[in-house]
Amino acid sequence: MGIDTITQFPLETLVAAPESRESKALPVLRKAHLSDVPTLFKLIHQYAVEEVMLPRALPELYEDVWEFTVAEKNGQVAACGALRLYNAEIAEIRSLCVDPHQKTVGLGRAVTTQLMHEAQSLGLKRVFALTVVPGFFSKMGFYPVERDALPQKVWRDCLQCEKYFRCDEVAMVFDLAYLSRKSAHAHP
């Protein structure tokens, strides 16, 4: 394993759909590399075209590559997500997406959990997501909040969004103190 390989997420908790069990290779979770940026762009772009997430420009991805964690499966990046810091207490999980051919094997859950552990290790108190799939985040322990409960600078991206006046995203929050209590009760 490389120095940037992440081992925090317990891979045995990945839930695979019956039809995907033929692929036995477990994913490797790691911080993104500059060489991953074209793949990140492609993954994000396909969801942006469907208006499921905001597009990210290629130069922006190069600038912010350090925010991204990827799930690599069979040597290929199959999922990604970013942790955008807003202040010493809160961060956003954003640009979370999974290769459509890998959707039911738990990669989104793995990346999300890893980003939450990263936020916890930074001493943050909460993470949030703006999403059109609140059910996914709800299963992860997030709960809905009013948008104005989030810092104003969160809306910087909203000003550039085509759906600004018809936004269908739900603000979901996770309190990291819960993750700390859960970890404290885990078996060694």
Q: Report if pTM > 0.75.
A: yes
Burial-class residue 87 by CB neighbours within 10 Å (0-12, 13-18, 19+): exposed
What is the phi/psi pair of residue 170, to 5°? -110, 135
Q: Give the C-alpha separation, 137 to 94, whole Å.
A: 12
Residue 115 lies in a domain: yes
36 DSSP assignment:
G
Q: State mean pLDDT over 40-67.
A: 93
Provide the residue range defining the domain that includes 74.
Answer: 5-183
pLDDT digits (tens, 9 = 90+) for 148-158: 777 766 656 65
Neighbouring CB atoms inside 10 A of 67's CB total 20
CA of 99: how far to CAs of 34, 78, 103, 105, 172, in Å? 19, 5, 6, 11, 23
From the DSSP assignment, how many helices (H) and strands (E) are in the chain?
A: 5, 8
pLDDT digits (tens, 9 = 90+) for 23-51: 456 789 999 999 999 999 999 999 989 88
Q: In what order do the strands lie in the sheet with 5-6?
A: 5-6, 28-31, 68-73, 76-85, 90-98, 126-131, 170-175, 143-145
Residue 165: the pLDDT is 53
Q: What is the CATH number of the domain that holds 165?
A: 3.40.630.30
Q: State mean pLDDT over 59-67.
A: 97
Contact between 111 and 81 under an 8 Å Cβ cutoff? The reply is yes
Residue 188 lies in a domain: no
The mean pLDDT of the chain is 80
Residue 49 lies in a domain: yes
Residue 50 lies in a domain: yes
Residue 130 lies in a domain: yes
Residue 34 lies in a domain: yes
Burial-class residue 68 by CB neighbours within 10 Å (0-12, 13-18, 19+): buried
Per the structure, how many domains does the chain have? 1
Q: Give the C-alpha separation, 111 to 48, whole Å.
A: 19
Torsion of CA 112, 113, 117, 120, to 10 degrees: 70
